[in-house]
Amino acid sequence: MKEKVKYILLFTLLFLVLTPFLKQHTNILQNKFVADDLRGYFPPVDSANFSLQNWMDGKYQSQQEEFLKRNLKIRPHAVRVNNQLHYDILDEIRSTIVEGKDGYLFETMYIRSLQGLDFIGTKKIEEQVEKLKVALELISPEEKMILLLKYQDYLSIKEIESALGIGESAVKMRIKRAKDKLITVYNKNQN
Amino acid sequence: MVFSSTIFLIYFLPFFLITYWLTPQRFRNITALFWSVLFYAWGAPKFIFVLFCSIVVDFFLAKKIYQSEIFLKKKYLLISMVLNVGLLLYFKYSNFFIENANVLLENLGLTGVHWTNLALPIGISFFTFQKISYIVDIFRGKNTPLKKISDLALYIILFPQLIAGPIVRYSEIKDQLQNRIANENIDNRLNGFFRFSIGLAKKMLIANQMSILADTIFNIPAGILTMGQAWLGSLAYAFQIYFDFSGYSDMAIGLGLMMGFRFPENFNAPYISQSISEFWRRWHITLSNWMRDYLYIPIGGNRVKSKVRLYFNLWVVFLISGFWHGAAWTFIAWGIFHGAFLILDRLFLLRFYKMIGKPLSIIITFIITLVGWVIFRAETFPQAMSYIVTMFDFGNMNLAISTTRGTYDWFIEQRFIIIFGVASFFSFLPTINFIEKNMNPFFGTQGEKDFIFIKSILAIILLYICITEVISTGINPFIYYRF
């Protein structure tokens, strides 16, 4: 094979791995790989705050990875191509969604839950409950309280607002933070 | 940093390649070192200083060993071994030992020691072995120490093989560290890209899918698990770990090729082995070689007087290599299990395999390997035992894969069947002699000039598919990152 062809191939490969970057940070390729934004709800991921502490703990790295993944301009294109491939080759409908009667889409998780099929055994559940109890004691009392109001007493956001005398966005923010903290503590305790 | 992450594929890889290729020849080691440090600092920032210090210490100790008389030589070797093995023991095993000691103490009615668990610095198991190979080779007079500390640092933290191997012994790479101009050509770069994308595809398209299946089945409680599910789960895990780990090795070898390095091969179609002894010549080859050179031979190797001693040595090596994989009883049991079959092979199994012929030997060996993987994968030793009992409980045979027993229900989706097909095809294809003999020019690092065009086109397609997969899915670290 001619040397020239080899260089063209190498350049193509290099260009391929550079494409997401070029699309993200330059004006080149703006009109390529255009796809509508993905529909549906995605929890927003914030860009990570850089601090030495965050870096040392690895928090910065993992959040930045997630942030990048979520906010790549090439993501809608990538997700669509990927879903199509999974559908065509593996006959798989992604995001654990099944096609039900009359073409309605259902998320399997809820169906299984409803039928009690996701039961993992009493022992496992008890273990998880124990772990959660421990984790609840390790977050601050304020955080614990707001979680219990929401998930144990089933208060609505409105009711929590008036109970605590703070605004809607503050309530949501606090719940989210408390939840994140609890999950971190829970996962840390697992190991 | 994980090879299959967005940050690596989209930022690290292209910019590393461009800067590396644009750097003048004599500064390329520095460029490679710079990016390797960045790579490790991203993944294990806390540990990188410890790593630097230990590299500096090793550098000077190696020089001392080289210059000293035999008596002092041994002393320096001892210091270096204590430091290196000590670091590994401390970071990897102190949690395990203290946990077990506490259980023992509490059983005796005493209070246990308070201990905060240490996080395992990624890659420590691998680079500790490389450092030992550097020091020991110099002690043995096989090699001379490196002149520049940056070259030693590059050997230890060269990012493609830093975290999960292949374990490159110093003598295999010492010349390339100083000069690899002969290997830096367009053919190797294209081959490297091909190898990298094959590895990424193994990981993203096969191992990740298999892991979903294996995780589901290994989470089914004993008593509900059927025999059919147990076999399927062990198969899924066998394919997961093979495609995960060999995929990682392919990516490392590929990245190395793009930089002009030739790393040793790590896998050679392990599932077509006809005995467990052969399996270890085909699976994680660089670990087996390392164990042979730096553990098996020093404790006597084959040159011992009695057979009992030989078997004992073999067993010790396998016990240690099991324990090397992780600080848990399951890994020790896995090592003992494989060691036992190595001894049985020498006693009578090899003769038996010869009698029954190739296909049956492959099947029996594969089944033994599957049982091994169950021990390896299980969270606790009792879980492994009950899982294996389910696999062989012929009195209570239930081959159903989709079942509703009790309240647990589970069924296999079509996608898994397709992936199973692909995985088995590539795992067992080399049973055909012709293919095994001729696959190297295509997959191996030999015969670089063949098939370049087809390989590059394949690389483009696979890379494209894998990048979309990486962007669309969550984080899936490699199994061997834990070790």
Tens of pLDDT along chain B (483 residues) come to: 788 888 888 899 999 999 999 988 888 889 999 999 988 888 778 788 888 888 898 888 888 888 888 888 888 888 888 888 888 888 888 878 888 888 888 887 777 677 677 777 788 888 888 899 998 888 888 888 888 888 888 888 888 888 887 888 888 888 888 888 888 888 888 888 999 999 999 998 899 888 888 888 888 877 778 888 889 889 999 999 999 999 999 999 999 989 988 888 888 888 988 889 889 988 999 999 898 888 888 887 777 778 888 888 888 888 888 888 888 888 999 999 999 998 898 888 888 888 888 889 999 999 999 999 999 998 888 888 999 988 888 877 776 676 554 444 556 667 788 888 888 998 888 888 777 777 776 766 655 677 888 888 888 999 999 988 888 876 566 666 655
Q: Are residues A9 and A81 in the same domain?
A: yes
Phi first, then psi, for residue B191 (nearest 5°) are: -60, -40
User: How far does A162 lie from chain B, in Å, by closest CA?
Assistant: 38
Q: Are residues A84 and A139 in the same domain?
A: no
Question: Does A147 reside within a domain?
Answer: yes
Which residues are CB-contacts of A90 (< 8 A; sequence separation ≥ 6)? B414, B415, B418, B419
> Within the 68-87 window of chain B, which residues sit less than 8 Å (CB to CB) from chain A?
none
**Nearest Cβ partner for B467 among A61, A68, A78:** A78
How far CA B304 is from CA of B300, B311, B390, in Å, comes to: 6, 10, 41
Residue B425: CB atoms within 10 Å: 9
Which residues are CB-contacts of B139 (< 8 A; sequence separation ≥ 6)? B65, B73, B77
* Cα of B12 vs its chain's centroid, Å: 23
Q: Are residues A128 and A81 in the same domain?
A: no
Beta carbons of B98 and B113 less than 8 angstroms apart: yes
**Is B471 in contact with A82 (Cβ distance < 8 A)?**
yes
Q: What residue has token string 């090899």?
A: B350
User: How far does A142 lie from chain B, in Å, by closest CA?
Assistant: 27
Q: Do strands A97-99 and A105-107 pair parallel, antiparallel, or not at all (unpaired)?
A: antiparallel
How far CA B71 is from CA of A82, B61, B65, B76, B137, in Å, comes to: 63, 14, 10, 9, 17
**Nearest Cβ partner for A116 among B46, B224, B407:** B407
**Residue B91 DSSP symbol:** I
Beta carbons of A65 and B7 less than 8 angstroms apart: yes
Domain that holds residue A143: 122-190
**Residue B138 DSSP symbol:** H
> Which position among B114, B284, B325, B338 bears the catalytic label?
B325
Q: Are residues A139 and A83 in the same domain?
A: no
**Residue B5 DSSP symbol:** S
What is the distance between the alpha carbons of residues B342 and B315, in angstroms, rounded to a whole number?
8
- Substitution target in B458, B468, B473, B481 with the highest count of A β-carbons within 10 Å is B468
Beta carbons of B256 and B263 less than 8 angstroms apart: yes
**Is B414 in contact with A91 (Cβ distance < 8 A)?**
yes
Q: What residue has token string 């494409």?
A: A19
User: How far does B416 lie from chain A, in Å, by closest CA?
Assistant: 8
**Nearest Cβ partner for A78 among B5, B452, B471:** B471
Range A78-82 average pLDDT: 84
Kindly report, residue by residue over A100-131, the tens digit of the pLDDT.
677 677 777 777 777 777 777 788 888 888 88
**Is B190 in contact with A119 (Cβ distance < 8 A)?**
no
What is the distance between the alpha carbons of residues B473 and A67, in angstroms, rounded to a whole number?
13
Q: Look at residues B343, B216, B191 and name the one whose alpha carbon lies nearest to residue B280.
A: B343
What is the distance between the alpha carbons of residues A91 and A87, in angstroms, rounded to a whole number?
5
Question: Does A127 reside within a domain?
Answer: yes
Residues of A in Cβ contact (< 8 Å) with B481: none
Q: Are residues A81 and A130 in the same domain?
A: no
**Is B471 in contact with A117 (Cβ distance < 8 A)?**
no
DSSP string, B444-461: SSS-TTTTHHHHHHHHHH
What residues does B404 pair with on adjacent strands? B409
User: Is B114 among the catalytic positions?
Assistant: no
Question: Does A114 reside within a domain?
Answer: no
**Is A85 in contact with B465 (Cβ distance < 8 A)?**
yes
Angle, in degrees to the nearest 10, between helices B48-67 and B149-157:
130
pLDDT at B102: 81
Which residues are CB-contacts of B211 (< 8 A; sequence separation ≥ 6)? B236, B240, B244, B476
Q: Which residue of B has its CA nearest to A95?
A: B473
**Is B219 in contact with A12 (Cβ distance < 8 A)?**
no
Q: Are residues A10 and A86 in the same domain?
A: yes
Q: Amino acid identity of B86?
A: G
Phi first, then psi, for residue B222 (nearest 5°) are: -60, 150
Cα torsion for B49, B50, B56, B57, to the nearest 10°?
Answer: 160
Q: What residue has token string 């589901």?
A: B216
pLDDT at B124: 84
Residue pairs between chains A and B whose CB atoms are closer than 8 Å: 123
> Within the 274-313 window of chain B, which residues sit less than 8 Å (CB to CB) from chain A?
none
User: How far does B283 lie from chain A, in Å, by closest CA?
Assistant: 29
Tokens of B72: 């002092």
Beta carbons of B377 and B242 less than 8 angstroms apart: no
Strand residues in B34-156 grouped as ranges (E): none
| B5 lies within 8 A of chain A by CB | yes
Beta carbons of A68 and B471 less than 8 angstroms apart: no
Question: Does A155 reside within a domain?
Answer: yes
What residues does A97 pair with on adjacent strands? A107
Where a domain ends, among A90, A112, A141? A90
**Nearest Cβ partner for B460 among A5, A16, A123:** A16
**Is A10 in contact with B418 (Cβ distance < 8 A)?**
no
Beta carbons of A17 and B14 less than 8 angstroms apart: yes
Q: Are residues A82 and A131 in the same domain?
A: no
Question: Does A95 reside within a domain?
Answer: no
**Nearest Cβ partner for B463 among A17, A69, A86:** A17
Residues of B in Cβ contact (< 8 Å) with A86: 415
Tokens of B65: 């060993």
Q: Which residue of B has its CA nearest to A85?
A: B465
Whole-model pTM: value is 0.82
Question: Does A99 reside within a domain?
Answer: no
Tokens of A167: 């605004």
Residue B453: CB atoms within 10 Å: 13
Q: A181: domain CATH number?
A: 1.10.10.10
What is the distance between the alpha carbons of residues B466 and A20, in angstroms, rounded to a whole number?
13
What residues does A106 pair with on adjacent strands? A98
Q: CB-side exposure of A84: number of CA atoms within 13 Å?
A: 8
What residues does B405 pair with on adjacent strands? B408
Evaluate if residue A93 carries a pLDDT over 70: no
Helix (H/G/I), strand (E/B), else coil: B283: coil
> Can you give the residue ranges of every domain in chain B?
6-182, 187-482
Question: Does A66 reside within a domain?
Answer: yes
Exposed e or buried b per residue across A125-164, where buried means at least 16 C-beta atoms within 10 angstroms of its C-beta: eeeeeeeeeebeeebeeebbebbebbeeeebeeeebbeee
DSSP string, A168-188: HHHHHHHHHHHHHHHHHHHHH
How far CA B97 is from CA of B89, B128, B333, B380, B459, in Å, comes to: 10, 20, 16, 16, 46
Question: Does A178 reside within a domain?
Answer: yes
**Nearest Cβ partner for B9 among A17, A77, A85:** A17
Q: Look at residues B371, B320, B305, B398 and name the one whose alpha carbon lies nearest to residue B93.
A: B320
Kindly report, residue by residue over B189-209, the tens digit of the pLDDT.
888 899 999 999 999 889 988
Number of domains in chain A: 2
**Is A123 in contact with B221 (Cβ distance < 8 A)?**
yes
Evaluate if residue A191 carries a pLDDT over 50: no
**Is B7 in contact with A64 (Cβ distance < 8 A)?**
yes
| B186 lies within 8 A of chain A by CB | yes
User: How far does A3 lie from chain B, in Å, by closest CA?
Assistant: 8
